[in-house]
Structures are given as structure tokens and as C-alpha cells.
Amino acid sequence: MSELALFLVRIGFVAVLWIFILSLLSVIRADLYGRRVISKIARQNAPALAGGGSVAGSVASLGLEDGEVFDPSQIAMLTGRTAGTSIDIAGKRELLIGRGATCDVVISDEFASNMHSKLVLVGEDWVLQDLNSTNGTYLDGRKVTTPATIGQGATIRIGTTTFELR
């Protein structure tokens, strides 16, 4: 093989490595700056969302008034031993749910684990995550395996206890 060809192969290989890296960078650039871009677009479109009649339907289907954000201030216990009580969650960002006394939301239920699941405020949404409990956490009847966002009126069930965010 000629010197020139080997030289081209040599340059070519390093070039291919860099092309690979740069194209990966161009993909994850969106990942690096993505959030800012999204929020800007969302803000520009927010007035259009609130005012546009055609969009109102899709927003209303979530059970909300135009432009209102679901911002629950308490947990209302629906069934179980503590049924009828409610827990204030305004200002909280993270709630540990379980049978253990150190939990923010203590559930006296034989089917609940000590640290059963967790509610985390991510942005404006409350997100429910199961902490690998023995008997599982159910959101609207479906078992929570990966963290799930809680919508208005969604009921959470742990053992025989159910509650919702209001």
C-alpha cells in the first residue's frame, strides 16, 4: 500500500472519530439547551392557548378551567382507616408515603410498606413514584411501575387506602 494511501487512511480515521463525536454533540445539544428553548416557545404560545377557542376543549378535558394550573393544596383520604381526613401539602416539594412514623403521609394499612411511595413536585406537576413496595401503588387502578404524573381527580391506592390530591 502506498504511503499516500496510508496517510489518507490515517487522517480519515481520526476524522471519522471526530465526525462521530460532533454528530453526537449536535444531537445532545438539544438535550443541553432543550429546556430553555421549550419554555420560551411555551411562554410565547401561552396567551394563544388561553385565548384560542379551539384549544380550550383539549385543556378542559383535563378538568381545568382555561389557563388554570392544577395546583393541589391537600391530600384527601377517601377510604381506609383515616378516611375523611386531609393533609395539608401547600409549600411541600416532596412527600414520603408509607406506614413508617417518619413518613409525611402516614398510612395505617397492613398492606403498606414502611416507605411505600413518594410524591415529588417536578416543575408544576406532582409525580408519584413507587419505592419498590411489597404490594404496589396504584394510580387510577393501574400499578405504578415508572414515575407517573398525577392529574386532577386521579385516585391513588395503597393497599385498602385511597386518596387524591385536591
Cβ proximity of 144 and 117 under 8 Å: yes
Other Cβ atoms closer than 10 A to 162: 16
Other Cβ atoms closer than 10 A to 151: 15
3-class SS at 72? coil
3-class SS at 158? strand
* 117/161 with CB nearer another protein: 117
For residue 141, the minimal CB distance to another protein (Å) is: 16
Closest alpha carbon to 72 in 11, 157, 163: 163
Contact residue for another protein among 106, 120, 151, 155 (CB under 8 A): 120
Instruction: Tell me: does residue 21 bind another protein (CB under 8 A).
Output: yes
For residue 145, the number of C-alpha atoms closer than 13 Å in the C-beta half-sphere is 1
Instruction: Tell me: does residue 64 bind another protein (CB under 8 A).
Output: no
Instruction: Tell me: does residue 7 bind another protein (CB under 8 A).
Output: yes
Contact residue for another protein among 31, 65, 88, 124 (CB under 8 A): 31
Contact residue for another protein among 9, 50, 60, 83 (CB under 8 A): 9
139: β partners: 142, 156
Contact residue for another protein among 86, 129, 135, 155 (CB under 8 A): 129
| Chain contacts with another protein (rule: CB under 8 A) | 1, 6-7, 9-14, 16-18, 20-21, 24-25, 27-28, 30-31, 34, 37-38, 41-42, 45, 48-49, 52, 54-55, 58, 118, 120, 122, 127, 129, 131-132, 146-148
